[in-house]
Amino acid sequence: MRSKAVLCVLLLALLAGCAGSGGAARSDRPDRAGDGCHGADDCLARMTLAEKAGQMIQLQNAFLDDPRDLARLSIGAMLSAGDDGGPRGGGNDAAAWAGMVEGYQRAALRSRLRVPLLYGADAVHGMSGITGSVIFPHHIGMGATRDPALVARAERVARDETLGAGVRWAFTPCVCVPRDVRWGRTYEGYAEDPGVVGELGAASVRGFQGDALGPGSVLATAKHFVGDGGTAYGSAAGEGRLLDQGDVRVGEAELRRVHLAPYRDVVDAGVGSVMASYSSVRGVRTHGDRRLLTGVLKGELGFEGFVVSDYDAVQQLPGGELAAQVARAVNAGIDMVMVSKDYRGVHRAITAGVREGRIPRARVDDAVRRILDVKERLGFFDDPFTDRALTAKVGSPRHRAVAREAVRASQVLLRNEGGALPLPRRGSYRIVVGGNGADDLGRQLGGWSVGWQGGTGRTTEGTTFLQALRRATAGTGIEVATEGRGDVGIWVGGEDPYAEWFGDSETLALGEENEADLADVCGRAKTCVGVLYSGRPVVLGGALARTDAFVAAWLPGTEARGITDALFGAGFSGRLPVTWPRRAADAAGRSREAGADPLFRYGYGIRPY
Ligand code: GLC
């Protein structure tokens, strides 16, 4: 372990006074009484410019050189980003994270005014950064349910598991409206229809925050403002990028009708933070777009929370010089800067920006007030620590049952010839299973699962399809095999996990391995069922006709029993949240557009039982 990291671990333990990942009992936690400031008005009145600048910084745990910087600079927030989110000393379960976050909080409370720290993570389909948590279907699957009550229930579980990991800020819901499924982040969106996105996004906010921000809330984040799902194919700069972080080239009316509309719903639901988008609108980078961030979001929509930049996105603004980039972003309406390594540089850029007249002092005061107001509404000035009783409930059977129900409700049946489904629950018949997803938990999860890009194999705790099938058929007379011939063949496979621009696809190909596996399994069975794990529609070509039944399972998460529940008779209720194109070149087309010839239209789904 590098010497600097060793120093950090030792300092953190010393400052935190907590024993490793166990954390401290509630009784010996530092209370905030005494000389600390209390609430937005009091803190703002007493803070120096340097302390205000610190509140406007969110730094990543992996790059905190010295925990004493949290107090020295009065840092407002931290995050665990995609990879290596856990404590440096190892351990990636809820208890390890909770101990880590508590240590940072204790270090931050040593600042002059003892302002509590806000810790955030990408709990985008459950608290998916830690091992042992319940991982839900990605948003595209939840969109297939069209069920806001189910989304809210799922997010209440995610809220409790996020709190169990000591985290109080979730960078979700993405209320992007994916309009071209070749985009690598399609699965982070609920649907191509802004009405569905707004309804489910608002349900997600209420699931995490409750009806209003309060001591039991996890702060939600509507992202990425605005138009991240509407970038033009080929407009993204950078190796291998096609759409992600590209340019939105639609007129103002379409921008508002499609991409801005969901933000009205989530602002009305009380979302406490909004994350700006890396992308640009008609050539203007959104992180520097005062018209959109301040005029539209804070002005027209009346958003009263705070706007956080995306990860190192401020440094992507034109000009290349940090002081100017930070000044442009803050003046445009960014209230908190999410930064990896150069948090000291950002701090200097804010303080110097004010002293040298590039940033109005009133703009800094407005930003800090927004941040402190959210902390006050979260109850941080009374108790900035999370309830450690929730840590033991992470991954509980009750939580997994909610995810299993969400998985079943998200399944979309695209084909069912000859009544292939439902499969008889009992009887002496043989099922032969194959495909790269049959017994691979990582493929069920997709990106943003333990690691940024996800992974294959047993990356956390959960139930694979094959394990689910074996449990569903135990004692029924049905034989399950992975070799030989069968009465029924089930192919389970699909996309390799990916996140962000790594998922941008020119071809939407199912892939030769999947096509060969599907042909092989179906060639060894009388009746064949295809189960596709994917973050979006893929080009199915001849594969579909090789099957008797075909299920779009999306990226279902840790509870594959929800899929077997549907196969054995619990029913299919999912409907396509996006248009399923026949060819990749049609991926930007909408079902309802004149001349559209999709393979399956938006909203399609068979409900045989
Ligand atoms: C990423 C993503 C954003 C995420 C953030 C923190 O680049 O764009 O969705 O919340 O960084 O991980």
Ordered DSSP codes for 507-533: S-B--HHHHHHHHHHHTTEEEEEEEEE
- Please, which residues bridge with residue 336 across strands? 308
Nearest CA to ligand 1 atom 6: 81
Given this model, what pLDDT does residue 557 score? 98
Q: Is the same domain home to 32 and 97?
A: yes
CA-closest candidate to residue 579, choices 140, 268, 216, 165: 140
599 within domain boundaries: no
**Chain segment 370-380, per-residue pLDDT in tens:** 999 999 999 99
Residue 13 has pLDDT above 70, yes or no: no
Which atom of ligand 1 sits closest to the CA of residue 124? Answer: 10
Is residue 582 helix, strand or coil? coil
- b/e burial code for range 210-229 (CB count within 10 A of at least 16 → b): beebeeebbbbbbbbbbbbb
600 within domain boundaries: no
**What percent of the chain is helix, strand and coil (3-state, nearest 5)?**
40, 15, 45
Tokens of 203: 């349900």
Give 18's pLDDT tier (boundaries 50, 70, 90): very low
Instruction: Report H helices in 307-360.
Output: 322-332, 343-355
Count the Cβ atoms, other than its own, within 10 Å of residue 324. 15
559 within domain boundaries: yes
Q: Is the same domain home to 378 and 438?
A: no
Share of the chain above pLDDT 70, in %: 94
Which residue type sits at 121?
A: A
Ligand 1 pocket check: which of 124, 310, 336 to mutate, most ligand atoms within 8 Å of Cβ?
310
Q: What is the crossing angle of helices 361-377 and 322-332, to 10°?
A: 60
**Chain segment 547-597, per-residue pLDDT in tens:** 999 999 999 999 999 999 999 999 999 999 999 999 999 998 776 676 778
Give 329's pLDDT tier (boundaries 50, 70, 90): very high
**Chain segment 388-419, per-residue pLDDT in tens:** 999 999 999 999 999 999 999 999 999 999 99
Q: Is the same domain home to 194 and 282?
A: yes
Answer with the one of 391, 425, 450 that is the final residue of a domain: 391
Which atom of ligand 1 sits closest to the CA of residue 313? Answer: 7
Q: How many residues does the chain have?
A: 609
Which atom of ligand 1 sits closest to the CA of residue 174? Answer: 9
Given this model, what pLDDT does residue 20 score? 37
CATH number of 475's domain: 3.40.50.1700
Quote the Cα angle for 154-260-366, to 5°: 90
Given this model, what pLDDT does residue 23 score? 44
- CA–centroid distance, 171 to ligand 1, in Å, is 8
Given this model, what pLDDT does residue 27 score? 59
Nearest CA to ligand 1 atom 3: 310
- CA–centroid distance, 186 to ligand 1, in Å, is 14
Answer with the one of 331, 360, 391 that is the final residue of a domain: 391
Residue 21 has pLDDT above 50, yes or no: no
- CA–centroid distance, 472 to ligand 1, in Å, is 38
Give 34's pLDDT tier (boundaries 50, 70, 90): low
Given this model, what pLDDT does residue 90 score? 83
Share of the chain above pLDDT 90, in %: 89
Ligand 1 pocket check: which of 78, 83, 311 to mutate, most ligand atoms within 8 Å of Cβ?
311
- For the residues 327-342, what does the mean pLDDT come to? 98
- For residue 121, the surrounding DSSP H or E stretch is strand 118-121
**Chain segment 135-156, per-residue pLDDT in tens:** 999 999 999 999 999 999 999 9
406 within domain boundaries: no
- CA–centroid distance, 584 to ligand 1, in Å, is 27
CATH number of 259's domain: 3.20.20.300
Which atom of ligand 1 sits closest to the CA of residue 221? Answer: 10
Give 449's pLDDT tier (boundaries 50, 70, 90): very high
Q: Is the same domain home to 432 and 373?
A: no
More confident residue, 604 or 89: 604
> Number of folded domains in the chain?
2
Nearest CA to ligand 1 atom 8: 310
Given this model, what pLDDT does residue 216 score? 95
Identify the residues whose C-beta falls under 6 Å from ligand 1: 81-82, 122, 171, 223, 310-311
Q: Is the same domain home to 84 and 217?
A: yes
Q: Is the same domain home to 365 and 464?
A: no
- CA–centroid distance, 596 to ligand 1, in Å, is 34
Nearest CA to ligand 1 atom 12: 81
Lowest-pLDDT range of 75-89, 94-108, 476-490, 492-506: 75-89
Q: Is the same domain home to 484 and 360?
A: no
Residue 540 has phi, psi (to 5 degrees) of: -90, -30
Given this model, what pLDDT does residue 232 score? 96
Which residue type sits at 6?
A: V
15 within domain boundaries: yes
Q: Is the same domain home to 239 and 195?
A: yes
- For the residues 82-105, what does the mean pLDDT come to? 93
Given this model, what pLDDT does residue 183 score? 97
Which atom of ligand 1 sits closest to the CA of residue 188? Answer: 9
173 within domain boundaries: yes
- b/e burial code for range 477-495 (CB count within 10 A of at least 16 → b): ebebeeeeebbbbbbbbbb
CB 496 within 8 A of CB 456: yes
Nearest CA to ligand 1 atom 7: 311
Which atom of ligand 1 sits closest to the CA of residue 81? Answer: 12
Is residue 54 helix, strand or coil? helix
Range of the domain at 240: 2-391
Residue 300 has pLDDT above 60, yes or no: yes
Q: Is the same domain home to 133 and 58?
A: yes
Q: Is the same domain home to 572 and 430?
A: yes
CB 126 within 8 A of CB 157: yes
- For the residues 267-284, what does the mean pLDDT come to? 98
Which atom of ligand 1 sits closest to the CA of residue 223? Answer: 9
Given this model, what pLDDT does residue 65 score? 87
602 within domain boundaries: no
Give 2's pLDDT tier (boundaries 50, 70, 90): very low
Active site residues: 310, 500
Residue 103 has pLDDT above 70, yes or no: yes
Q: Is the same domain home to 354 and 442?
A: no
Ligand 1 pocket check: which of 171, 225, 228, 504 to mutate, most ligand atoms within 8 Å of Cβ?
171
- For residue 107, the surrounding DSSP H or E stretch is helix 94-108
- CA–centroid distance, 27 to ligand 1, in Å, is 35
Give 1's pLDDT tier (boundaries 50, 70, 90): very low
Q: How far apart are CA 271 and CA 250, in angstroms?
A: 26
- CA–centroid distance, 311 to ligand 1, in Å, is 6
Q: Please give the mean pLDDT across all residues of the chain.
A: 94
- CA–centroid distance, 607 to ligand 1, in Å, is 36
Nearest CA to ligand 1 atom 10: 171
Given this model, what pLDDT does residue 170 score? 98
Q: How far apart are CA 49 and CA 354, in angstroms?
A: 8
**Chain segment 478-507, per-residue pLDDT in tens:** 999 999 999 999 999 999 999 999 999 999
Strands of 454-580 (E only): list them.
479-481, 486-494, 525-533, 549-554
Q: Is the same domain home to 183 and 307?
A: yes
**Chain segment 42-59, per-residue pLDDT in tens:** 999 999 999 999 999 999
Given this model, what pLDDT does residue 84 score? 83
Nearest CA to ligand 1 atom 11: 311
Query: What is the value of pTM for the model shown?
Result: 0.95
Ligand 1 pocket check: which of 122, 139, 187 to mutate, most ligand atoms within 8 Å of Cβ?
122
398 within domain boundaries: no
**Chain segment 108-136, per-residue pLDDT in tens:** 999 999 999 999 999 999 999 999 999 99
